[in-house]
């Protein structure tokens, strides 16, 4: 039942654009968004709509759970300054590559490389293993006799990326290998062949070069503003010296309470968890699943999760001013009790909920969206409530 509420003061046109962006069911595409399929990423259309509704060029946009970097890419492309925070070194790597504005000379180099990289994969030629990572277990489930060809192809294509010669170009090349290997290994029901991998490697490289060109053109049109990615917990990030002013907008998708999402692993041959993406990115893993999801979903009442989300959003409240809008997209394994508890945590963090008047005749007056085809599972059996997400709007109390 829709009750009295705090109004954000947006025009009906702006509200409609936000709703359309949130409920957009199209595939993620455009700019650099296709560089990697990060779990639980939201639509660039939604991030774009929020940025245009609540900010103007030059404003600061913050994402304290940056994940795959959707918010920061859209902020950069629209001429806004952006700061992202994430505890994962993999998220840091992916977001930095997505937000790199390459020069014309660099893009020409990458374009030439994209047409040659497939030729670097040859099972009749030797490859050089990454011994340090192998000793640390990052080759787990890649050493099976059915995958030696893919292992060799990954090593050979990584060697080709390293030969690009500069850290910026090497990171781009590693991201090409990361996306291609993800396609070949993660959650597949049918095993990919080395020829499949070779073809995907070239197609991915060419698509990513196109994305780099699109981002460069958009930044040239709207003006360049810096993008910063800080790798650390969102709790206490307000103390970072990188924050020189209050953001006009915070837009984020934090880990979902009670919903199992693998942010740090690929699933090979069913549910065999592989840490390979960190090796490809030349990064180190942090810890187990709860390290990335802010708490064990089996902990009674999800107390650890709600303590952590209160902590991270308290940091958001600390960097906000009276004009800052906080937008979150979140899902729940059991919405009936978890949504009220989540809203209580926001109040405890010093935030007040706002709603869109245009939705007053819908359900509880909040902006809900359906997400078909999620590969997540929760503590419950049957239909997964995690496929229903809600967009929450807050301001500092």
What's the pLDDT at 291? 63
What's the pLDDT at 299? 60
Q: Delineate the domains of the chain, giving CATH numbers in brackets.
A: 12-99+224-258+297-396 (3.40.50.150), 104-219 (no CATH)
Q: What is the mean pLDDT of residues 49-73?
A: 96
Please tell me the distance from the alpha carbon of residue 88 to that of residue 111, in angstroms, as a whole number. Answer: 29
Please tell me the distance from the alpha carbon of residue 258 to that of residue 255, in angstroms, as a whole number. Answer: 9
What's the pLDDT at 240? 85
Give the angle 129-130-132 at the CA atoms, nearest 5°.
Answer: 135
- Lowest mean pLDDT: which of 138-147, 161-170, 282-291? 282-291
Query: Between 203 and 299, where is the model more confident?
Result: 203
pLDDT-above-70 percentage for the chain: 90
| pLDDT for residue 385 is more than 70 | no
| pLDDT for residue 270 is more than 80 | no
Residue-wise pLDDT tens digits, 151-177: 999 999 999 999 999 999 999 999 999
Average pLDDT across the chain, whole number: 89
DSSP H or E segment with residue 267? strand 266-268
| pLDDT for residue 260 is more than 80 | no
Instruction: Give the strand pairing for 388-396 and 325-331.
Output: antiparallel
DSSP H or E segment with residue 396? strand 388-396
What's the pLDDT at 2? 43
Whether residue 77 contacts residue 218, with contact meaning beta carbons closer than 8 Å, is answered with: yes
Q: State the pLDDT confidence band at 376, using cuts at 50, 70 and 90.
A: very low
Q: Where are the alpha helices (DSSP H) in 24-147?
A: 44-54, 70-77, 89-98, 104-114, 131-135
Q: Which residues contact 33 (CB under 8 A, 6 or more apart)?
A: 44, 68, 70, 73, 98, 211
| pLDDT for residue 83 is more than 50 | yes
| pLDDT for residue 275 is more than 70 | yes
What's the pLDDT at 293? 64
Q: Tokens 């774009």 identify what position? A: 48
| pLDDT for residue 12 is more than 80 | yes
Query: Between 235 and 377, where is the model more confident?
Result: 235
3-state helix, strand, coil in the chain (%, to 5): 45, 15, 40
3-state secondary structure labels for all residues of 309-351 = HHHHHHHHHHHCCCCCEEEEEEECCCHHHHHHHHHHHHHHCCE
What's the pLDDT at 333? 87
What would the two tokens of residue 210 be?
A: 């196109």
> Burial, 315: exposed, middle or buried (Cβ in 10 Å; 0-12, 13-18, 19+)?
buried
Q: Which residues contact 11 (CB under 8 A, 6 or more apart)?
A: none
Residue-wise pLDDT tens digits, 177-214: 999 999 999 888 888 999 999 999 999 999 999 999 99
Q: State the pLDDT confidence band at 292, using cuts at 50, 70 and 90.
A: low
| pLDDT for residue 58 is more than 90 | yes
Residue-wise pLDDT tens digits, 111-142: 999 999 999 999 999 998 899 998 888 888 78
Q: What is the mean pLDDT of residues 215-231?
A: 96
Q: What is the mean pLDDT of residues 227-255?
A: 93
Q: Which residues of 82-119 are buried (b: 16+ CB within 10 A; e: fewer)?
A: bbbbbbbbbbbbbbbbbbbbbeeebbebbeebbeebbe
What's the pLDDT at 19? 93
Q: Which residues pair with 389 in a beta bridge?
A: 331, 369
- Lowest mean pLDDT: which of 54-58, 152-156, 290-294, 380-384? 380-384
Residue-wise pLDDT tens digits, 302-345: 888 999 999 999 999 999 999 999 999 999 989 999 999 999 99
| pLDDT for residue 383 is more than 60 | no
DSSP H or E segment with residue 227? strand 227-231
């Amino acid at each position: 039942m829709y009750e009295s509420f705090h109004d954000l003061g947006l025009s009906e046109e702006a509200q409609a654009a936000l709703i359309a962006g949130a409920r957009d069911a199209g595939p993620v595409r455009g700019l650099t968004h296709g560089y990697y399929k990060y779990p639980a990423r939201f639509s660039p259309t939604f991030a774009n709509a929020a940025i245009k509704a609540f900010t103007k060029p030059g404003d600061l946009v913050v994402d304290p759970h940056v994940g795959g970097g959707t918010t920061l890419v859209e902020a950069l492309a629209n001429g806004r300054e952006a700061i992202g925070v994430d505890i994962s070194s993999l998220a840091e790597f992916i977001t930095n590559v997505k937000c790199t504005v390459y020069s014309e000379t660099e893009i020409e180099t990458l374009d030439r490389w994209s047409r040659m990289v497939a030729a670097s994969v040859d099972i009749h030629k030797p490859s050089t293993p990454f011994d340090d990572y192998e000793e640390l277990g990052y080759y787990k489930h890649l050493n099976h006799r059915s995958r030696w060809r893919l292992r060799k192809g990954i090593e050979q294509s990584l060697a080709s990326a390293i030969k690009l010669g500069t850290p910026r170009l090497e990171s781009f090349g590693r991201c090409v290998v990361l996306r291609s290997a993800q396609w070949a290994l993660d959650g597949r029901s049918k095993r990919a062949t080395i020829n499949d991998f070779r073809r995907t490697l070239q197609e991915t490289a060419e698509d990513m070069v196109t994305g780099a060109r699109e981002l460069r053109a958009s930044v040239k049109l709207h003006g360049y503003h810096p993008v910063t990615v800080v790798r650390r917990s969102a709790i206490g990030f307000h103390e970072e010296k990188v924050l020189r002013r209050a953001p006009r907008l915070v837009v984020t998708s934090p880990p979902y309470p009670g919903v199992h999402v693998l942010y740090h692993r690929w699933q090979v041959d069913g549910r065999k968890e592989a840490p390979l993406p960190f090796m490809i990115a030349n990064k180190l893993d942090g810890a187990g699943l709860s390290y990335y999801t802010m708490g064990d979903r089996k902990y009674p009442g999800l107390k650890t999760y709600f303590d952590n989300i209160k902590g991270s959003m308290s940091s958001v409240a600390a960097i906000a001013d009276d004009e800052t809008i906080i937008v979150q997209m979140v899902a729940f394994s059991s919405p009936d009790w978890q949504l009220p508890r989540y809203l209580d945590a926001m109040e405890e963090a010093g935030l007040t909920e706002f709603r869109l008047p245009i939705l007053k005749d819908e359900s509880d007056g909040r902006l809900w969206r359906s997400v078909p085809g999620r590969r997540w599972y929760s503590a419950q059996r049957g239909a997964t409530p995690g496929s229903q997400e809600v967009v929450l709007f807050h301001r500092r109390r």
